[in-house]
Amino acid sequence: MSNNLNFADKATKEMVKRAGEQNLPTIWNRYEAQQPQCGFGDLGLCCRHCSMGPCRIDPFGEGPKVGVCGATADTIAARHIIRMIAAGSSAHSDHGRDISHTLLRIGEDPNCDYTVKDMNKLKAFAAYYGLTGDGKEMRAFAKEVAERVLQEFGQQSGTLKIAETAPPARVKLWKELGLMPRSIDREVVETMHRTHIGVDADYKNLIKQGMRTALADGWGGSMIGTDLSDAVFGTPNPLTTEANLGIMKKDHVNLIVHGHEPTLSDIIAVISQKKELVDKAKAKGAKGIQLGGICCTANEIMMRHGIPLAGSYMQQELAIQTGVVDMMVVDVQCIWPGLQETAKCFHTKLVTTSPKAKMPGFEHIEFSEDRAVAIATQIIETAIDNFPNRNGNQYIPDVKEQLVGGFSAESAFHFLGGKYRSTYRPLNDAIIGGRIRGLAGVIGCSNPNMEYEEGHLTVVKELLKNDVLVASTGCNSITCAKHGLMRPEAAFQYAGKGLQEVCQAVGIPPVLHMGACLDNSRILRVLTNVVAEGGLGDDISDLPAAGAAPEWMSEKAVCIGFYFVASGVYTVIGKPLPVMGSKALTDYLTGDIEKEVGGKWVFEENHIEAAHKMIRHIDKKRKALKLKPMLYEQPFKPEA
Ligand code: NFS
Ligand code: SF4
């Protein structure tokens, strides 16, 4: 464990030290207790898909090279990885479906607590389906769009309409390769079917289905989720707020929202400062109500309401260990059932709200959209009632940082457009003219199997130094925010001269917070807009761009990586996918797959080298596009 317990983040360092002294559980302890972890699983060489097994393949010795059914390492590893994709695609897409149902409710229920906040966004989205909304009032239009988009989840013929909004060359390629997703649910179901005992055993054929399932997420479920969230809750615009555990206040009721779907948390954000509620908090001896977020629910309500980010994935139990969290309310995804062990030592109330996610030791207050405001009020009141129960063991690390967040595919470059407004021209010109070397999406989780945040920070800083503009989502965003990389001044500290000039001219930080993991679809949209603006090739795979998830852990991250690869993006991860037990599959994913889809996987555990590989790829694309040399001297010069 020793080398994993270095923390760049002072707040985390203090809290983990304290946890050690007070014998409080942490993710790092539980990780340590699991060592050594199963090598077969790590290499993708175990299969439990039927009860003739479990089977495992011996990668080195004289042990079996096939399972009971005769499945080889290639088959077993490929089946396993595409089941991970199916799970990730399901998580995002079920979220997208829920948001579509929220829109449907707006359309059908005149007393609905939600409304369409951004009609322009809804119209732009509806246009993908040829719907104009002409002559329709808001509710009728919302219903029409919701009913149409819900077909994308279960239609029995055709392919996803929204996936056709990718660059035309990309859509053509997907059609030729048979990668166009047919319907979101269908791709997931077919992946489950093909990985059942005795169905698909051809690793390339399995990966092809995996990519189609991933595309059904990126260019389907996630994109629908992002676009409709913008329509219902508002498209984000740049705003200033703060990040890290220090955002909590000792003399306030601290309510932490955690998870992913904003339907409940957005309402909590809207009503939490209502006078009646604040008065109630005061009557209990608090000065007010402080909201904060963990994980992507945090990103969602930060983006739209400026609610501060309390911490990233790895800080969820540390937040409770401050002793000042009066309630942590969760929805779905990335929530540790182990939180209850920490909560037992404090007064913190843990509350689950989704019928899909109940947890032992959590109180369940079921959320229902038909009573959204009433339930959100009940939740806030329950948190307030718990304020007097604090038991004295309180400590808030005095650590927080400012950030500018709230960039969408529209606002980021609307902003970048400056006087041109709403155009990607200045961005493209900055790339073409050699001020910006390229674009990078750096995203994803953190993982106790490596030094917390070191991967994110090293990769991002190395890219900035070399004039690569970074778009960020998920927990990478929270890390970048906590470490000051999202302050406008950050460009002067971290960026190369060309990127500095661009950031200064338009007043943006060099790392753009584009939202939750679901909002990686915004990055797909940015890349599509850059292609459409012209001068940088015809397809996403022509762009000087690359992606990275230095500390990934979730199945969603696997799915995201696959949809980026299948969209033509060079994608680097810090820990290999669990496929290394199959040489053929590993070679394919990190090699030949690029010849088919234009993107590929790169496994690189050295974070500086990860950034350098991305930059080499960016340079290769710049060269192919015959772009001018960079305007200013670059610190990293790849060998010729
Ligand atoms: Ni993404 Fe967001 Fe964080 Fe990873 Fe989990 S919160 S959806 S999965 S851990 S980045
Ligand atoms: Fe073993 Fe084949 Fe069954 Fe998997 S599907 S558990 S490899 S027999």
Q: Residue 262's closest CA among 242, 220, 232?
A: 232
Residue 32 within any structural domain of the chain: no
pLDDT at 417: 52
Quick one: which ligand is closest to 295's CA? 1
Give residue 258 CA to ligand 1 midpoint distance, Å: 11
What average pLDDT values come out for the chain (640 residues) when binned by 10 residues? 74 97 96 96 97 96 96 98 98 98 97 96 97 94 98 97 98 98 98 98 98 98 98 96 98 98 97 98 98 98 98 98 98 98 97 98 97 98 98 94 96 62 85 98 97 98 98 98 96 98 92 98 97 97 98 98 98 98 98 98 98 98 97 90
pLDDT at 2: 43
Residue 21 within any structural domain of the chain: no
Give residue 67 CA to ligand 1 midpoint distance, Å: 34
């270095």: which residue's tokens? 6
- Tell me: do 372 and 500 sit in the same domain: no
Residue 520 within any structural domain of the chain: yes
- Tell me: do 428 and 470 sit in the same domain: yes
Residue 463 within any structural domain of the chain: yes
Indicate the top mutation candidate among 40, 45, 47 to test ligand 2's pocket, ranked by most ligand atoms within 8 A of CB: 47
Residue 368, SS3 per DSSP: coil
What distance in Å separates the CA atoms of residue 435 and residue 412, rounded to the nearest whole number? 18
Q: Which of 363, 389, 415 is the last residue of a domain?
A: 389
Q: Which of 174, 208, 233 is the last residue of a domain?
A: 233
CB-ligand 2 contact for 259 (6 Å cutoff):
no
Sequence-ordered alpha helix ranges (H) in 164-245: 168-177, 184-194, 203-216, 222-233
CB-ligand 2 contact for 72 (6 Å cutoff):
no
Q: Report phi then psi at 483, rounded to 5.
A: -105, 20
- Tell me: do 226 and 251 sit in the same domain: no
- Tell me: do 340 and 294 sit in the same domain: yes
Residue 62 within any structural domain of the chain: no
pLDDT at 408: 95
Range 609-638 burial, b when 16+ CB lie within 10 A, else e: bbbbbbbbbbbebbeeeebeebbeebebee
What distance in Å separates the CA atoms of residue 412 and residue 405, rounded to the nearest whole number? 10
Give the number of the atom of ligand 1 that is nearest the alpha carbon of residue 518. 7
Q: In terms of residue numbers, what domain contains 106?
A: 73-233
Residue 397 within any structural domain of the chain: no
Q: Which domain CATH number covers 264?
A: 3.40.50.2030
Residue 593 within any structural domain of the chain: yes
Q: Whole-model pTM?
A: 0.97
Give residue 15 CA to ligand 1 midpoint distance, Å: 21
What distance in Å separates the CA atoms of residue 42 and residue 61, rounded to the nearest whole number? 17
Q: How many domains does the chain have?
A: 3
Give residue 53 CA to ligand 2 midpoint distance, Å: 5
- Tell me: do 202 and 347 sit in the same domain: no
- Tell me: do 129 and 220 sit in the same domain: yes
- Tell me: do 315 and 448 sit in the same domain: no
- Tell me: do 167 and 207 sit in the same domain: yes
């089977």: which residue's tokens? 55
Token digits of residue 106: 């707006």
- Tell me: do 450 and 354 sit in the same domain: no
- Tell me: do 522 and 446 sit in the same domain: yes
What distance in Å separates the CA atoms of residue 208 and residue 226, rounded to the nearest whole number? 25
CB-ligand 2 contact for 54 (6 Å cutoff):
yes
What distance in Å separates the CA atoms of residue 521 and residue 534, rounded to the nearest whole number? 20
Q: Which domain CATH number covers 110?
A: 1.20.1270.30
Which H or E run contains 410?
none
Q: Which of 389, 419, 440 is the last residue of a domain?
A: 389
- Tell me: do 205 and 277 sit in the same domain: no
Give residue 602 CA to ligand 1 midpoint distance, Å: 20
- Tell me: do 455 and 580 sit in the same domain: yes
Residue 3 within any structural domain of the chain: no
pLDDT at 415: 58
